[in-house]
Amino acid sequence: MNNKTIKFSRKSAPEKSARMVETIVGCKWSLTVYNLLNNDINRPGEMVRSVEGLTTKVLNACLKRNIEFGILEREAFNEIPPRVEYQVTKFGDKFIGILNELEKLQKDIDNSHC
Amino acid sequence: MNNKTIKFSRKSAPEKSARMVETIVGCKWSLTVYNLLNNDINRPGEMVRSVEGLTTKVLNACLKRNIEFGILEREAFNEIPPRVEYQVTKFGDKFIGILNELEKLQKDIDNSHC
């Protein structure tokens, strides 16, 4: 029977995307920023004014990290005064969808005996 | 205008479920075990025989961790010889679904310029 056994090989993990989850979840403001964007608050000044405790410096670091991951994109409009807006990319949409699933799962954990 | 601004508060992250992702993705064999279970290979002996490089000791540690997280459950049948089988819980199904989404996202990352 042994020599009839189908052999499976080790399945490698989605390490890069898991690391994204790790970094973004560890980032204090990313989820808040997604929430703001979802409410059409997409200009940095507006963002800072809308959230208690959020500073321009911290927001910029957060936006930068999200752009590096390809979750958000920055659009600069050639206007006077200059206007800059942020939006979620298609890739970012999928990623945020996964975070939402993780949030639902978290509720399952919180409601269980653990 | 400032005093009309709706205030958003900081959105907290699903830390427990994200930590689960971190641990399971960091675990060398969990994804392989899910794959085995998906192929109806649910007895420890069969699992070890089916995967090159997988030992009983390492498998047991992996199964134990997954049981602690509530992803897998162990069923012992009162038979001679005794039979033990593992299966994915409902909660585990959701969790593995999220890992599958992360895997798709990983492909997007691999196919992009990054």
**pLDDT per residue over A45-69, tens digit each?**
999 999 999 999 999 999 999 999 9
Residue A73: count other Cβ atoms within 10 Å of its Cβ.
15
- DSSP for A52-101, written as a single string: TT--HHHHHHHHHHHHHTTSEEEEEE--SS-EEEEEE-HHHHHHHHHHHH
Nearest to A85 by CA among A9, A11, A16, A33: A33
Helix (H, G, I), strand (E, B) or coil at B88: strand
Q: B3-25, pLDDT tens digit by residue?
A: 566 789 998 888 999 999 999 99
Give the pLDDT score at B59: 96
Query: Which pLDDT score is estimated for B67?
Result: 97
**Domain architecture of chain A: domains with CATH:** 17-111 (1.10.10.10)
A5 has a pLDDT exceeding 90? no
pLDDT at A3: 52
The H helix count followed by the E strand count for chain B is: 5, 2
Per-residue confidence (pLDDT) for residue B77, from 0 to 100 = 94
Instruction: Please report residues of B whose CB lies closer than 8 A to that of A114.
Output: 70
Contacts of B16 in chain A (CB under 8 A): 106, 109-110
pLDDT in tens, B24-42: 998 889 999 999 999 999 9
Rounded mean pLDDT of B59-78?
96
> Nearest chain B Cα to A105, which residue?
B17
- Percent helix, strand, coil in chain A, to 5, is 60, 10, 30
| Nearest-CB residue to A8 (from B25, B36, B97) | B36
pLDDT of residue B113: 54
Nearest CA in chain B to A99: B14
A36 vs B111 pLDDT, higher one: A36
Distance (Å) from the alpha carbon of B90 to chain A's nearest alpha carbon: 11
Report whether B42 contacts B82 (CB < 8 A): no
Quote the tokens at residue A11: 């399945």
